[in-house]
Amino acid sequence: GAVVSQHPSWVICKSGTSVKIECRSLDFQATTMFWYRQFPKQSLMLMATSNEGSKATYEQGVEKDKFLINHASLTLSTLTVTSAHPEDSSFYICSARDLGRYNSPLHFGNGTRLTVT
């Protein structure tokens, strides 16, 4: 089945630094990938839609200059948290769909736990 891989699975960084998270579709091509954020005991909130070859679409309230998204190829999207602050500490999860399969669901990566100190 479709597999989505994220790296790293966890990262600790100092306040003011930037962190890059990678999301890869391992056995299919994804023209669109989705980035979600999940705070403890809460559900997933869509942050942005990453589009291969064009600009990402951000949800209302998500700062595009803080959360930089690059979808450089059909199998890779990256999320860079710039000038991270402790309030950015969260669980970041990406997802993608194999459009080559009829009625394929959205598959999720295993997430990246970001802790900003």
Residues lying near another protein in the complex (CB under 8 A) are found at 4, 6, 32, 34, 42-46, 49, 91, 93, 95, 97, 103, 105-111, 113
Contact 23, 77 (CB under 8 A): yes
Hey, what are 54's tokens? 């064009």
Residue number, 4 or 84, with CB nearest to another protein: 4
Beta bridge mates, 19: 81
Hey, what are 2's tokens? 């479709």
CB of 39 to another protein, least distance (A): 11
CB of 23 to another protein, least distance (A): 10
Residue number, 83 or 99, with CB nearest to another protein: 99
Annotate 36-65 with three-state secondary structure: EEECCCCCEEEEEEEECCCCCEECCCCCCC
Residue number, 42 or 73, with CB nearest to another protein: 42
CB of 50 to another protein, least distance (A): 12
